[in-house]
């Protein structure tokens, strides 16, 4: 199946140190594969102990032989790349910090749905409301529903006068 790996004491220490300091589960597993290979465990035994496939063990051993410890780090993140490019995120940050009224809209606060529609029009990339909320959170923006009040839009003196009058009317009963 392939020859085992013989490690020097320095290589063993380096792998063991990396194993206990890495936050990545993949790097931890890859270090264990190499350390177990040094103890002459077979590929199927290593795969069974670590709960991975024999192809993974063979691949990690090959990577280590060719590239050393640095080859034990994952090459790319798993999954599909995000459609939110840096340009899209720049447009989103700019839009969130701009009053919608200045952009010609008839409302003064952004909702996730309104922001998604605006960004789709500006960038041509459409995201769901939930994804827009996740992107806003990822970019450090807090998102919550606006509290609709008349404060600042009403005559405060008349409001206070009516409030006192209402209290007096309630006390009379």
Residue at a domain's end among 72, 95, 114:
72
Q: How many domains does the chain have?
A: 2
57 lies in a domain? yes
> pLDDT digit string (tens) for 52-70?
999 999 999 999 999 999 9
Question: pTM for the complete prediction?
Answer: 0.47
Q: 124: how many CB neighbours lie within 10 A of its CB?
A: 8
14 lies in a domain? yes
- By CB atoms closer than 10 A (0-12, 13-18, 19+), residue 58 is middle
Please, are residues 59 and 47 in contact by the beta-carbon 8 Å criterion?
no
> pLDDT digit string (tens) for 118-149?
999 999 999 999 999 999 999 999 877 767 77
The SS3 assignment for 73 reads coil
The CA–CA distances, whole Å, from 31 to 4, 5, 13, 35, 163 equal 14, 12, 11, 6, 72
Expressed as residue numbers, the domain containing 17 is 9-72
Q: Are residues 65 and 13 in the same domain?
A: yes
149 lies in a domain? no
Q: Are residues 22 and 49 in the same domain?
A: yes
């Amino acid at each position: 199946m392939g020859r085992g790996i013989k490690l020097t004491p320095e290589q063993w220490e380096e792998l063991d140190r990396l194993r206990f300091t890495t936050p990545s589960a993949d790097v931890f597993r890859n270090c264990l594969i190499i350390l177990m290979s040094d103890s002459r465990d077979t590929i199927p035994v290593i795969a069974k102990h670590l709960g991975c496939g024999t192809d993974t063990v063979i691949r990690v051993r090959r990577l280590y032989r060719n590239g050393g410890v640095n080859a034990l780090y994952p090459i790319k993140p798993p999954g599909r790349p995000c459609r939110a490019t840096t340009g899209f995120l720049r447009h989103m940050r700019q839009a969130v910090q701009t009053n919608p009224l200045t952009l010609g809209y008839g409302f003064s606060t952004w909702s996730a749905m309104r922001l998604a529609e605006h960004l789709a029009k500006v960038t041509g990339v459409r995201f769901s409301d939930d994804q827009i909320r996740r992107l806003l959170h990822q970019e450090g923006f807090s998102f919550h529903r606006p509290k609709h009040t008349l404060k600042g839009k009403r005559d405060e003196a008349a409001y206070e006068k009516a409030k006192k009058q209402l209290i007096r009317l309630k006390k009379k009963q």
